[in-house]
Amino acid sequence: MCGRSSLHDAPRSVLERFQLPPMLPGFEPRYNIAPSQDQWAIALDAAASPAVRQLKWGLIPAWANDPSIGSRMINARAETLASKPAWEFSVRKRRCLILADGYYEWATIGKTRIPYFFHLSEHRPFVLAGLWDRWEREGDAIDTCTIITVEAGPRGAAVHHRMPVVFSMDAAQEWLDESTRVHRALELLRPYEDELESYQVSTYVNTPANDSPECIARVA
């Protein structure tokens, strides 16, 4: 699964690739983004052009009666996207990209859970495959998202058996393109191993309220 991420530098190279302004409005470094908090994302606007927006992490399907369902939908398994009603509309019409420069996974050794920070070489920014939806009731609207996961590749599996989908920029553009059919979009969802690195961090990151550079500090 993917239960935490980071975005502590403005992802200029990613934004420029999508011909977006190089700075996020009101951007503040985040080292420990947790479910129910906002994720910076790229999604298509009404004119089908890429646009930056903030989405609450934990997808609430438009048809849901109770918005608390979002707390159980922070991740979507790639293997079931085409068969589960919760994802069916979003995978066709509301694909998005979650901006990040790292994410955390926990290895379980006995009864101990040990956090690891995953990132690309030189801590370059990247995007994660996501879906979003809008929930509206009685004049209130909430835009939410989920991060898609797959079976981990060899590097990721050393820590956890699943991992979020990290896209190359070419795959990211194809995922976001509204002309990309569902069957092709699903083919893009696979483990990313190129330049993926990880190291152990302290359990300081376990507490969502902790959001500082200490979260990504390497344990000696």
Could you give the residue numbers annotated as active site?
Answer: 2, 105
Residue 85 sits at φ, ψ, to 5 deg, of -55, -30
For the chain, what percentages of helix, strand and coil (3-state, to nearest 5) are there?
Answer: 25, 40, 35
Cβ atoms of 192 and 168 closer than 8 Å: yes
Burial class (CB in 10 A: 0-12, 13-18, 19+), 182: middle
Number of helices (H), then strands (E), in the chain: 5, 13
Cβ atoms of 62 and 87 closer than 8 Å: no
Of 212, 173, 160, residue with least CA distance to 2: 160
